[in-house]
Structure 1
Amino acid sequence: MPFVSLSGIRLHYRIDGDERSDAPWLVLANALGADVTMWAPQIAAFAARFRVLRFDTRGLGCSDAPPGPYSIEQWTQDVIGLLDALSIERAHFCGLSMGGLIGVALAARHADRFDRFVLAHTAARLGAPEIWQARARQAREQGARSLADATLKRWFTDAFAEREPLLVAMIRDAFAHMDDEGYASNCEAIGAADLRAEAGAIHAPTLVMTGRGDPSVAPELTRALAEAIAGARFVELDAQHLSNIERADEFTQTVLGFLTGPIAH
């Protein structure tokens, strides 16, 4: 299991695609409560066109969970540090939910390291701090697993959960084994992050995606992000929060079309 050591912590990562290839790099960033396995539906198609780097955010998955507080600055520095450690000069970036929030910061602050961005099911501000503080408190007092069932209800429609019970069970299992303190510290970092003043500075080609029924990040907030970014493309899928799983083929083809197609000027 590969790790990179950065500023005293270890970040877990995976690379897919032919290591001898000169294909461009694509970085994938997870939702809060998910690990690198959330991108499994996309990996075969993405790896056929890119060298794909996915990683577990600090505090989640197999990455270390150092004591908090965490911050958007740490998240972005973790990504840049990971690129540096792997000698990746430039890449495309695709992040969903918390991963998309990280993408907003990277697009505004580190545009020199990236080409195109996909920001899915996210916004420049992901809700009021009190909501995230309450979730952090529950994770510390009752364990992150106490949030799993309610979270998955927001992630997937009932119809999908009934149709794909084994897949949903696998996603729930990854969530239930998150480090409690790491999850809580990430909640607090989301609550403290407000990038609304920075979104307008993004000039990289950007695709913004949402689900029409997303109860985690209201589609109008994601649309507002797209409207703040000059020239951004906006796409709605018929899904809740994890459209990359619920509408896997449609999500995959939409992202591939954007990353490999011409950029409108």
Structure 2
Amino acid sequence: MPSAINDGVELYFELHGNSESSNGALVFAHGAGGNAASWWQQVPTFSDSYRVVVFDHRGFGRSVCPPEQQNALLFESDLIAILDAAEIDSATIVCQSMGGWTGVRAAVFNPDRVRGVFLANTPGAVQNQVVADNWTQLTERIAEGGGLINRAISEPFAMNHPDRALLYQQIAAFNVGSAPNIRDNEVGVSPQQVLDSKVPFHVLASDLDPLFPPHVLSAVADDIGADRSFVEGAGHSTYFEQPSTFNGILGEFLDTLP
């Protein structure tokens, strides 16, 4: 498999789909409970029509990185290094949870390389008062739920699909020693910075998401001028729990892009 180098770290990525597609490229940026393997329900759907990239963030999966170099400030330059290695001029970034920091920061600091950003169950790096208040409450909610991985999938999904819930945990287990600093203030950006990028955004929220509830993501969408969608019966990982719904909403967003 190909790889890219940034700041001394080798970044694992995969290329799928049609390199000659006129629809352009999609890059899927996973969350803290995932890696490139997380997108197994999206890659087959979109690889017929798009050039698809999945990758492991630094410190996750096969992108081995010591803790002192696991800085989310490097996420967007990691992404640009991957685009360069894949010879992709610009792409739409599909972001799950932590991946939103990658997509938002890439749009703000490299808008010429980003065609659009799809924020799924994440505010990304966007900072406003509602997001700040949510961070204050988040640690307690995670502890009540038994940890980040347990809170990343909804209880109904775990009960009704124990096999897929186990698969989610098994994929997450490949992330050894990952410690992203996405909560650091210096990693965040203002809504105005996002607006100034002129990059189109879409925000997806789910009613059972305990990490970034719909009211939080609605406030983010309002502040950055993004369209939004709402999914019922899904938790924090809509892409994993309801892939058909997720893929359909993503496809509709892609159709709106110039």
> What interval of TM-score do these two structures reach, taking the shorter chain for normalisation?
0.7 to 0.9
- CA 1:69/1:218 → structure 2, altered by over 3 Å: closer, same or farther? farther
1:190 equivalent in structure 2: 183
1:245 equivalent in structure 2: 240
Native 8 Å contact 2:208 2:235 kept in 1: yes
Higher helix share: 1
How many residues are aligned here? Answer: 246
Task: Report the 3-state secondary structure (helix = DSSP H, G, I; strand = E; otherwise coil) of the residue aligned with 2:44.
Answer: helix
Same amino acid, percent of matched pairs: 26
Native 8 Å contact 2:77 2:106 kept in 1: no
1:35 equivalent in structure 2: 35
| Partners of 2:149 and 2:53 in 1: CA distance | 25
Among 142, 158, 163, the residue aligned to 1:166: 163
2:108 equivalent in structure 1: 108
2:230 equivalent in structure 1: 236
Amino acid at match of 1:159: P
Amino acid at match of 2:86: L
| Partners of 1:67 and 1:100 in 2: CA distance | 20
| Partners of 1:203 and 1:21 in 2: CA distance | 24
- CA 1:161/1:88 → structure 2, altered by over 3 Å: closer, same or farther? same
Amino acid at match of 1:253: G
1:257 equivalent in structure 2: 252
Structure 1 unaligned runs (5+)?
A: 139-147
Task: Report the 3-state secondary structure (helix = DSSP H, G, I; strand = E; otherwise coil) of the residue aligned with 1:63.
Answer: coil
- CA 1:191/1:131 → structure 2, altered by over 3 Å: closer, same or farther? farther
Which region of structure 1 is more displaced relative to structure 2, 241-250 or 217-226?
217-226
Task: Report the 3-state secondary structure (helix = DSSP H, G, I; strand = E; otherwise coil) of the residue aligned with 2:41.
Answer: helix
- CA 1:212/1:243 → structure 2, altered by over 3 Å: closer, same or farther? same
Native 8 Å contact 1:95 1:119 kept in 2: yes
| Partners of 1:37 and 1:167 in 2: CA distance | 13
Please give the per-residue CA displacement for 1:141-166, whole angstroms capped at 9, x wherever unaligned: xxxxxxx9632332222221122212
Normalised by the size of structure 2, how large is the TM-score? Answer: 0.86
The structural deviation recorded for 1:12 is 0.7
The structural deviation recorded for 1:207 is 1.0
| Partners of 2:214 and 2:117 in 1: CA distance | 18
Structure 2 unaligned runs (5+)?
A: none
| Partners of 1:167 and 1:6 in 2: CA distance | 34
2:148 equivalent in structure 1: 151
| Partners of 1:259 and 1:118 in 2: CA distance | 9
Normalised by the size of structure 1, how large is the TM-score? Answer: 0.84
Amino acid at match of 1:250: T
Task: Report the 3-state secondary structure (helix = DSSP H, G, I; strand = E; otherwise coil) of the residue aligned with 1:220.
Answer: helix
- CA 1:72/1:201 → structure 2, altered by over 3 Å: closer, same or farther? farther
Amino acid at match of 2:213: A
Matched, 1:50 2:50: yes
Which region of structure 1 is more displaced relative to structure 2, 211-220 or 243-252?
211-220
Task: Report the 3-state secondary structure (helix = DSSP H, G, I; strand = E; otherwise coil) of the residue aligned with 1:168.
Answer: helix
The structural deviation recorded for 1:40 is 0.9
